[in-house]
Amino acid sequence: MPRIFKNEAALTPEYIPGKLPHREEQLKQLEAYFSGFLENPGSMYPKVILIGRPGSGKTVTSRKFGNHAMKLSNMVRYVHVSCFLNRTLSSVLKDIGVQLNIAIPKRGYSTEELLKMLLDMVREKNIYAIVALDDVFHLVNNSGPHALGTLIRLGEEYVSRGDKYRFGIILISQDLSFRDQLDRSSQSSLGNTVIRFEPYTKDQIFEILLVRAQEALIDDAYDEEILEMIADVAGIDEKVLDDHRGDARYAIDILWRASKLAEIKGADRILPEHVREAIKNTLRGIRSDELRMLPLHEKIFLLAIVKSLMKNPNSPYIPFGIAEDEYKMLCEQYNEEPRKHTQLWEYLRDLNLKGFVETRTSSKGMRGRTTLVSIPSEPLMTLDEELRRIIEGELGT
């Protein structure tokens, strides 16, 4: 079989490339804001907010800065916490503890007790850390602004005890709406240091794809026209108003899928038809890695919503009860014990908060008050195939 990849990992969401085209300025700003903390750990408490649309380079820029920071100062650690995965204060504290090699009990302690343990152990081990809270709006939406306010004031806890500043904070979000929910004290403590990430243009997407292709693919497996074809679809265009454009992660996912198709079909290079098929099968507003992170039965319930909508093509919304019935049938198909009605409501609330589904209450024309569910942002067939692939892979079926 002809080879397409030389380093497939370079096309994954977690990969940090050697170069970050068109994010050099944001990297410089991060280095400048944290320079005092890195040169003299504990001397100050830097707090920076990164905002921009999905796929605009916030996460990879923060991670790359974190790697650079640890090379500059062997006293400072970098901790990256996904608030998509860790949506409560206790979960965030435990993840910080794990990444700092601090043993924090998994259960049996209140959040206040966990916080005290973390603070005490950080001081005892003489740790300094930059903590990045990615998708921080999930924490605020799920646990309330108090949870974030507590984390923002982490560094100040030490100074109030006569110690040094132990933390620097990076908050990553799509916009600043989370900040408006904080109380005045937390807003004041957080400050107004914001680094903005604009969506990528077509030319910028092309340069990003070129860097990734050079790291991921065999030289003869692609040409620049293939990368331009993907960039034309993914980059922002003044003539086309589309909130999903400018997303480098989407473009990289298309390149990976096109490369995989070429490999599966035994081709020795990526062809335009591989790209067309990859585009058709690539999610836009919803990320595949986010789908994988959902609990199994939340994935099955989301698949039930998708299938219910596909069975009712003339209606943009379906009643919650129809999705619940479809979920029970899927559980029987997958040989899984269905979760209870109240748990499905929790799943729906969570899916709505994450932006996977939209909900509204039925109009007066329907009997009683019914919750209606829709998925307006994704092609249902593509979402159906992706969910089934992930679920069946998880179940080993």
CATH number at residue 252: 1.10.8.60
Consult the annotation and say whether 367 binds a ligand.
no
Last-in-domain residue among 197, 220, 252: 197
Q: With a cut of 60, say whether residue 240 has pLDDT above it.
A: no
| Range picked from 52-56, 163-167, 370-374 for highest mean pLDDT | 52-56
Q: Give the confidence band of 181 by pLDDT, cuts at 50, 70, 90.
A: very high
pLDDT at 62: 98
**Domain-embedded: residue 353:** yes
Give the number of other CB atoms < 10 A from CB of residue 87: 20
- 47 & 163 share domain: yes
Tokens of 170: 């990076």
Last-in-domain residue among 280, 313, 344: 280
Last-in-domain residue among 221, 254, 280: 280
Tokens of 56: 């605009």
Spatial distance between the Cα atoms of 123 and 257, rounded to a whole number of angstroms: 46
Residue 51's beta-bridge partner residues?
173, 196
Consult the annotation and say whether 212 binds a ligand.
yes
- 188 & 204 share domain: no
Mean pLDDT computed over every residue of the chain: 90
**Domain-embedded: residue 1:** no
- 243 & 360 share domain: no
Q: Give the residue-averaged pLDDT of 146-163.
A: 81
Q: With a cut of 60, say whether residue 364 has pLDDT above it.
A: no
Residue 359's beta-bridge partner residues?
373
- 190 & 301 share domain: no
- 32 & 145 share domain: yes
- 49 & 193 share domain: yes
Number of structural domains in the chain: 3
- 118 & 238 share domain: no
Q: Give the residue-averaged pLDDT of 272-301.
A: 87
Q: With a cut of 80, say whether residue 333 has pLDDT above it.
A: yes
Tell me the pLDDT tens digit for each residue of 102-145.
988 877 788 888 888 998 899 999 999 999 999 999 999 889 99
Q: Give the residue-averaged pLDDT of 244-257.
A: 92
- 271 & 296 share domain: no
Question: 40: Cβ–Cβ under 8 A, 6 or more apart, which residues?
Answer: none
**Domain-embedded: residue 379:** yes
**Domain-embedded: residue 180:** yes
Residue scoring higher pLDDT (110 or 100): 100
Q: Give the residue-averaged pLDDT of 378-387.
A: 88
| Range picked from 63-72, 240-249, 272-281 for highest mean pLDDT | 63-72
**Domain-embedded: residue 3:** no
Q: Give the confidence band of 363 by pLDDT, cuts at 50, 70, 90.
A: low
What does residue 79 show for φ and ψ, rounded to 5 degrees?
-125, 125
Closest residue by Cα to residue 384 from 286, 252, 317: 286
Consult the annotation and say whether 200 binds a ligand.
yes
- 208 & 116 share domain: no
CATH of the domain at 327: 1.10.10.10
End-to-end CA separation in angstroms for the chain: 27
Closest residue by Cα to residue 78 from 49, 114, 44, 38: 38
Q: Give the confidence band of 361 by pLDDT, cuts at 50, 70, 90.
A: confident
pLDDT at 367: 55
Could you tell me the residue range of the domain that residue 328 belongs to?
288-395
Q: Give the confidence band of 239 by pLDDT, cuts at 50, 70, 90.
A: low
Q: Are 185 and 149 in contact (CB under 8 A)?
A: yes
Consult the annotation and say whether 311 binds a ligand.
no
- 49 & 119 share domain: yes
**Domain-embedded: residue 2:** no
- 205 & 192 share domain: no
CATH of the domain at 160: 3.40.50.300
- 360 & 343 share domain: yes
Q: With a cut of 80, say whether residue 255 has pLDDT above it.
A: yes
Residue 271 exposed, middle or buried by CB count within 10 Å (0-12, 13-18, 19+) = middle
The rounded radius of gyration (Å) of the Cα atoms in the chain is: 23
Consult the annotation and say whether 58 binds a ligand.
yes
**Domain-embedded: residue 343:** yes
